[in-house]
Structure 1
């Protein structure tokens, strides 16, 4: 089985964390932060699988699914998004995605989605899963909201229902390791 995977997400921290986890499971990992970078990787490397964020700057993940399938029709794709709706899920599957997962999703969730296709013959071991700590999940969520707010601390604090100074203190801390 071809264990090559492309991870496409504009959130660098999330993308790199996933890349590390897939590498530890024996995958050859390629990463991209946007549509254009992903298309270059697909054209050159031809990965067997792809994990695509739906909402990215520039062209969307739905457009990427359609274009990726033109270059590599047998590429197995799973869509991740923090902005899920039934309409976009239906459209992603119609365009050729195998499955649609809401964020935050971890490697085991993603491998479970790929395992829905028996042709991939993925060996999914659910016993080795270790959940991220609550501190880590909180830190990632805060950074995701801050990114969505274009780095505007006041707006992010309002969306998170936190005082602006409290949010600033949380952001000054280093991310939890686990």
Structure 2
């Protein structure tokens, strides 16, 4: 029998965390500890190994990306997965550079999330995936905006100025859903 392990679920959507915790407990032998803030999770003293951390990227008072490195250092999980409803290549790269092992767009099915967590010892195997479809013009524009926004630490005014567009036009573009999900 394997030793119990723990998943830390850090997301400010309390209904989402309750549902996800219940599903983990019903379908796995993992223990789940939920937090609405990453700073709270850093204060937690785990009595079993932390095998995974599911970290929301955008919480009301905190940005998950700022906590990837401290959470990795504190718990040394096998997986630290950043979850977001606002996926972009720029934030994916940032998350991975800071130590995330994966990055997923919400909504994600429970089955897909389990598959991400089950890859702990399969990192040495190479799988051949089909070639990705070329990006559309809208996707390229979205990626460029996200990259410039990241370079300007999320400052809308500086990003609009760098892109040569009006601040309000940039805000409208950001309010639309990402074309990457389509």
- TM tier, smaller: 0.5 to 0.7
Q: Which residue of 1 aligns with 2:64?
A: 61
Q: Which residue of 2 aligns with 1:20?
A: 22
Q: Which residue of 2 aligns with 1:4?
A: 6
Asked if 1:105 corresponds to 2:123, the answer is: no
Runs of 4 or more above 6 Å deviation: none
Q: Which residue of 1 aligns with 2:92?
A: 89
Q: Which residue of 1 aligns with 2:34?
A: 31
Secondary structure of the 1:118 match is coil
Count of aligned pairs between the two proteins: 121
Aligned equivalent of 2:55, options 52, 73, 79: 52
- RMSD over aligned CA atoms reads 2.3
Measure how far apart 1:59 and its partner are: 2.4
Is the 1:98–1:114 contact (alpha carbons within 8 Å) kept by the matching residues of 2? no
Higher-Rg structure is: 2
5+ residue gaps, structure 1: 121-158, 160-178
Specify which structure has the higher proportion of helix: 1
State the TM-score, normalized to the length of structure 1. Answer: 0.61
Measure how far apart 1:119 and its partner are: 6.3
